[in-house]
Amino acid sequence: MEPTRLGASAGYSAAVRNMLVVGAVVITLLPIPVTYFGILPAYQDHARFLLFYAPFLCLLTMCYLFYVRDSLGRAMFADVLDPPPPPDPYYRETLGERLGRRFRGVKGAILMILPALLVIGSMYSVSQYLGALDQSVALATASYINRADVEEESGMVRGEEKRRGTRVPGPPGSSMRKRADSLPEADTPPRTTDTTGVRQYVLRTSRMDGIPEVVKLTGLYLGSFLALLIAVTLMALKEYAKEALGLSEHELVFGRYYRNRANE
C-alpha cells in the first residue's frame, strides 16, 4: 500500500490547524462578553476584576503553549519519530526497558485523551463555580440580614432613649434607614424579607475584600476558560507539529519507517 504523500494532506492539515487557532483566539476573548453580559453570574466588583484578568491570563497561556510548541510536538510524536525497538524474543527485557516502554504507552495515552479531559474539566469548573457562587451569596445574604437586624435594634433603642430625653451616642448615619436616604434608589438596601432583592443587592454592592470565598470563585471562573483554551490549543499544535515534522496521515497510523521495514 503506497503511503499518502505529504502534499495531498497538507491542505487538510492547514485548514484544521487554522480553524483550531481561530477557535483558541475566540476562547481567549470569550471571557469578555461572558462577564460583561453576565452570562456567568458574578459579583459586580468581582466581574470588573475578571473582565480584565480572565482574557489576559488566557492570552498569556496561549502564547506560552505556542512558545513551547517544539517540545510539545516532539512529545506528541515521539513514537513516530523515534519508535522503540520491538522486544527481542530471545532475551528478557531489563526492568528499565520494561518501565520505559510502559512509560511511553502511558504518555501517549495521556496526550491522546488530555484535550477531552480538559473539556470535561472546563464543564466541571463551571458547575462548581455556580455552586460556589450560591454558597458565597448565601453567606453574604446572611451577613447582610444580621447587620440589618443589629442596626434595626440599635435604631429602636435610640428611639426609645430619645423619647425618654436621653441621647444615645452613635456615629451619624449608622442605621440602615439613614444610609438609604443618602444612597441612589438603585442601591437602596432592601427589606430583609425580600430574598431576591437582598441577593441582587449583595451581588451589586459587595466589595472584593468582603466577598466570601472570592479566591475559590476566581480560580473556578478562570479555570473554566483556561481548560477549554488549553484543549483547543493542544489540538492546534498537534496539527502544526504534524506538518512541521513532515508527517503524512499514513505515517501517523503505521509509523514513519513502516514502508522501509516492509521492503526489507
Question: Does a structural domain hold residue 245?
Answer: yes
Residue 11 CA to residue 246 CA, distance in Å, equals 13
CA atoms of 250 and 240, how far apart (whole Å): 17
The model's pLDDT over 128-182, given as tens digits with 9 standing for 90+, comes to 999 999 999 999 998 888 887 776 666 554 555 555 554 444 444 444 444 444 4
Q: How many domains are there within the chain?
A: 1
In a domain, 114, yes or no: yes
Residue range of the domain that includes 64: 6-263
Which DSSP state fits 91?
A: S
> Does any domain span residue 234?
yes
| Structural domain contains residue 1 | no
pLDDT digits (tens, 9 = 90+) for 235-256: 988 888 887 777 776 666 666 5
Asked, for residue 240, whether it belongs to a domain, the answer is yes
| 152 within domain boundaries | yes
The predicted structure's pLDDT at residue 246: 75
Residue 14 lies inside a defined structural domain of this protein: yes
Q: Which of 255, 257, 252 is nearest to 112 (CA)?
A: 252
